Chains A and B, each alone.
Chain A
Amino acid sequence: MNYIIPQSELKVVGTRPVRPDGVDKVTGRATFGADMTLAGMIWGKMLRSPHAHARIVAIDTSRALALPGVRAVVTAADFPDIASEEAFVGEGPMNFRDLSRNCLARDKVLYEGHAVAAVAAASQSVAEAALDLIDVTYEVLPHVIDVEAAMAAGAPILHEDMFTVGIEPKPTKPSNIAKRVAFAKGDAEAGFREADVIVEGRYTTQPVHQAYIEPHACLAQVAADGQAHIYSSTQGQFMVRAYCAKVLGWEIADIRSYPMEIGGGFGGKTLVYLEPVALALARKAGRPVKMVMTREEVFRASGPTSGAVIEVKIGARRDGSIVAAREVLKYQAGAFAGSPIGPGCMCGFAMYDLPNVDVVGYDVVSNRPKVAAYRAPGAPITSFAVESAMDDLARKLKIDPLALREMNGARDGSKTHYGVTHRDIGFLATLEAARSHPHYSAPLKPGQGRGVACGFWFNIGGESSGAVHVNEDGSISVVSGNPDIGGSRASMAMMAAEVLGVPIEHVRPIVGDTASIGFSHLTGGSRVTFATGMAVTQAAERVVDQLKQRAAQIWEIPAEAVEWKDGKAYPAGLNAGAFEPLSLAQIALKAGRTGGPISSEVTLNAQGAGPGFGCHICDVEVDSETGHVKILRYTAVQDVGKAIHPSYVEGQIQGGAAQGIGWALNEEYIYDKDGKMENAGFLDYRVPVASDLPLIEAVMVEVPNPRHPFGVRGVGEVPIVPPMAAVANAIRAATGLRMPDLPISPPKLRAALDAASGAKAA
C-alpha cells in the first residue's frame, strides 16, 4: 500500500494532542449559533401549524403588522413558488420545492409544527405577541401518522400530485407511497427451498430525533444592495448558501455564509429551516434578524429519522451457511418524500456474502415532520431487524452468533445485492477482535444476558477544499470548509503537521466561511477526515514542495537536491553541497525575498471512501417486575481505517453507541389522536442520561483504507448501527423474549414478560 508516510514513522498521526477547540468550549468563548449579535439586531419568531393536516384558506397578517415594534412579517407568498428539482445533500436526496414548502407552508400544512408565517420584531416578547395576531384560517383535513395506515387504501392523501415511482404500470391514483425500490441478487425463492432452517420476523422502529443539544439558530443580515450575510449552526456553510439562494431566488454570490460553532448535528443540520426565512425577514425589515428555535420547535419541526416496519426472512443450511435472505422495508419520510429507504435496502445485508437476496423498500409520507439525515441514515433501522433475525438464526442452528457472522461475513471480493463488490474491508478482522475480547467470554449472573450485533456503513468522499498557509513566523494556518462536529479541526491540523514535520502546537486549524475557502460539501457521511483530510494533506505536500524550492533558491542548488525531514530542508546527499539545514521558520522569514507567500489550496472530489464495520457486545440485566433494562457492560469494536486522533475516534464510537441505546430503550414520538406530538421535550423524549450508561469501551481495529494517504475511513456513523439489535439480543438472552418493537420501554417489556409467564402458566 502506498501511504505517504510509513505507519512506523508517524509522529503526529495516531497521537492524542489537546484538542484545538477545547479551551474555547470549556471556557464558554466558543460562539454557537445563538451567540452572535449585530448592531440593530431584531428577533424573528415562527408561527406554526396547530393541525396535523389542513388547507390554508387565508392568512391575515394585518393585526400583527400593526403591533408597535413589529418590523416585518413573511409568509410563503414572499418566496418564489419553485419547481421540483432534486439536489443531493450528502446522505440523501432533497427536493428544493419540498424544502421551500417545509421552510414555510404553501397551500397546506402537513404536520403539527409546520411553519406558516414569521415575524420580526424589536424584542422576543413583541415577536411572540405578534404571532398571536396573525389570523390563519384553516380547513382541517383528516390526517395519518402511522406508516402502514398511510399506505392503506383510503388513507388521507398528503400530496395530490404524488404517484408512486418504481411500479409498473405507472399508477393513475395519487398515493402516500412516494416510491418503491427493489434490489435482488440470485434467486431468493430457489434459495429458500434449499434452506434447512428459516427465521422470520416483523419489526417496527420509531422515529428518533438527532437530539443535538444546540437548537437551530441563525442570524441574517441583508444590505441595501442585496448583499447578505448568514451566520448559523449548520453542518455545511456552502449548503446554507446554496439552499438559501435557491429558496429565495437569489444569486449564490450574494450570500456569504458563516458556520458558527456547532452544538451537535448528527445529520439533522444538513438542511435549512430558519435561514431563508431569517434572510427574507432581514431584507424586509432592513435590520439583522436573529432566529432561535425552542426545544419544542426542534422536536415538532426538525429531524427526526424514519420510523419503519420491516419484515425479514433468512434461510440457512444446517451448517450455518445462509442460502437466501429477504427483506421488505416501509420507511416513514415525514411530510415530504425522501426517507433513507435506499441505504435501508442496502445496509441490512451488506455485511454478508449471500448468494440469493431479495429486498423491496417503500418511501412513505405521513403527517409528521420531514425526516432528516441521522448518523448512517437508514442503516440502524434495517440492521435492527436483520441482526435480530441473525440472532434467532444462530439460536436455531445452535451456532455461536459471532461464528455465524464469520461464516457468512463479507470479505474482499464479496459482491453485495446492490451491485458493489467489497474491497479492502475489515469485517472479519472486526469480528475476530470482538470474539477474542475478554467481554465476550466474561461470566454472567442469572437475570443477565449478552447480545451481539453488527453494523455497516458506506462512508462517502466528495468535494472538499483545504488550504495550508505558512505564516511569516513559520507558524501554520490550516483552513477547511467543513464545520467541526466530530473533532475534524484536530485531525486536519495533525495531518498537516505530519506532512510538514512540525509540532502540532504550531498548526492552527480554522473553519472558513464561504468566502474564505473553496467549495466544500457539508460535514456528513463520515467524509471530512477522509475527503477534506485528503485536500489538506495534498495542500501540505505542495507546501513542502514550495519550501524545498525556496531552500534550493537560498542555497542556489536544484530543487531536486533538497530533502524535507522533520520540518527542515536538508541538502540531499553529499553531491548537493554542504549546507546547514534550514528550518521552516527560517524559510518563512525569507519568503518575501524568494518569491512571495508560501501557501497552497487544494480542491478535489475525493473518491475511494472505505466502508466501515462494527460489532457491538452488550450485557443487560432485566428487572422482571418493572421491565427496566440496565446496560451492565458495553463494548463496541469497529474497523476505523487509521485513527488520526484516537480519542476522537473513541468518542465517535461511544457517542454512536449511546444514541443507539436510547433508540433501543426509550426514545419515541408520542402522538395524540389529533396528530399532535405529546412529548416535545427532553423530559418525556428520553435520551439516555449519563447515569444510564456504563463506560462504553471502544475497541479500534485498524484496517487501513488504501485510497487515503493515511489510511482513513469514516468512523462517525457505523457505531449507531448495531446497538438496537445488540440490546434486543441481550434482552432475548436474559428473558427468552424476542422484542421486535422499539423502543423496548419498561411498560412494553413488563407486558411481554407477563404475557409470556401467563402463557406458560396456562
Chain B
Amino acid sequence: MPSLNYAAPTSVQEAVALLAGAAGLAKPMAGGTDLLVQLRSGRLKPELIVDTKQIPGMIGIREEAGGFVIGGATSGAMLEAHAALKAAWPGVVEAMDLIGSEQIQGRASLAGNLCNASPAADSVPAMIAAAAVAVIVGPKGERTVPVESIVVSPGRTSLARDEFILAIRLPPRPAHSGDAYLRFIPRTEMDIAVVGCGVNVTLDAAGVCTAARVSVGAVAPTPLLVAEAGAALVGHTLDEATLAKLDAAARAACKPISDKRGTIEYRIKVAGVLARRAAAIAFERAAGRVAKGH
C-alpha cells in the first residue's frame, strides 16, 4: 500500500526543506478544501502533505504601506470579517466569499484557490483585476510575482516544487477606486463558475475612468487579464458606447471550450454580460454610491 505522510512545519525554512526533500509528490496545504477532495477521489496521490498553517505569517491580514498583506492560508471567513479590507477591496472579498459554503469558508484560502490552478477559480480574476501579487518563498528566499503569472495551465502553476505562497499583497488604493467580481452559475450557490469576471477601476473627480483592469475566468485555460477591456474603460464614463466596447473586448479575449458546464458560444456571450455588470458595480463603488457588496 502506498503511504501518505503529513507534516506541519513551524517555519518557512523547515517547510521548504520538507518540500524539497520528499521523494515523491509533495503538496503544500492551506485549507485543504481542494487538496483533500482530490486525495479522496484518488485524482492526487501525494507522498507528503505539508500543512502550512503553523508557519508564522501564513494566517492573518495586516495593512502595510497603504495596501494589505494577506497570509497565504488566511480563510475566506477572516477576509469577510475584516472591515478595512472589505471597504477597500469589496470585489476581492466577495469573490472569495462566493467559494463554497459556511464550512468551506472557514478553511478555504486565496493562495489555495490560486494554486489549485483551476481556470474557474473565483478569487483569481478578482485578484488579477486588483493587481495583486503573490509573495513566494523557496530555497533561494523570497520573490514577488503578479497573480496573473502564477497559473500556467489547468492544474499547473509557475511555482517550483519547493516553493509556496507566503502571502498575497493588495496594492494601495487611490481615491475614487472600486472593484467588483461576478460569476455566473446555473444555481445560486455551491457551484463552479461557468464564467467569472473581475473589474477594478479608478475614477477622477468627474467620474471619468483613469485606470482599469479587467480579468475573466473559466473562458480560457487560465484566468486572463484582458488589457483591451481595461483600455476600453479608460477615459470614459460608463455610457452605452463604452459598455459595448467593454463587452466586445471581454468576448474577444475568450478562448473557452464546450463542456458539461457550458458551450463555447454561451460562455463568450456571458463573459460580455458579466463584464458590463461588474463594471457597473465597480464604477458605483468608485463613485462612492455603493459602500460594499450587494
Interface, chain A (partner B; CB < 8 A): 125-126, 129, 625-628, 665-666, 670, 678-679, 683-684, 686, 688-689, 691-692, 745-747, 750-751, 754
Contact = CB atoms under 8 A, between A and B. Distances in A.
Contact of A746 (B186, B188, B192): B186
23 contacts: A126-B1, A625-B273, A626-B270, A627-B266, A628-B184, A665-B186, A666-B186, A666-B187, A683-B191, A684-B192, A684-B260, A684-B261, A686-B191, A688-B187, A689-B190, A691-B187, A692-B188, A745-B186, A746-B184, A746-B186, A746-B266, A751-B263, A751-B265
B269 interface: yes
Contacts of B273: 625-626
Contacts of A686: 186-187, 191
B184 A747 contact: no
A750 B269 contact: yes
B64 interface: no
Interface of B: 1, 184, 186-192, 194, 260-263, 265-266, 269-270, 273
Given A678-B260, A679-B260, A751-B265, A129 B188 contact: no
A747 B188 CA distance: 16
Nearest to A678: B260
B189 A691 contact: yes
Nearest to A624: B273
Nearest to B270: A626
A760 to B, nearest CB: 18
Contacts of B262: 747
Contacts of A665: 186
A668 to B, nearest CB: 9
Nearest to A745: B186
A3 B279 CA distance: 66
A689 B188 contact: yes
A411 B247 CA distance: 56
Contacts of B270: 625-626, 750
Most central of B186, B190, B263 by chain A CB within 10 Å: B186
B221 to A, nearest CB: 19
A129 B1 contact: yes
Given A626-B270, A626-B273, A751-B266, A125 B1 contact: yes
A689 B184 contact: no
Closest 4 CB pairs of A and B: A747-B266, A691-B188, A625-B273, A670-B260
Contacts of A750: 266, 269-270
A119 to B, nearest CB: 15
A689 B266 contact: no
A747 B269 CA distance: 10
A626 B184 contact: yes
Contacts of A627: 266
B182 to A, nearest CB: 10
A666 B194 CA distance: 14
A679 B259 CA distance: 11
Contacts of B184: 626, 628, 746
B279 to A, nearest CB: 14
B173 to A, nearest CB: 30
Contacts of A129: 1
Nearest to A129: B1
Contacts of B190: 683, 689
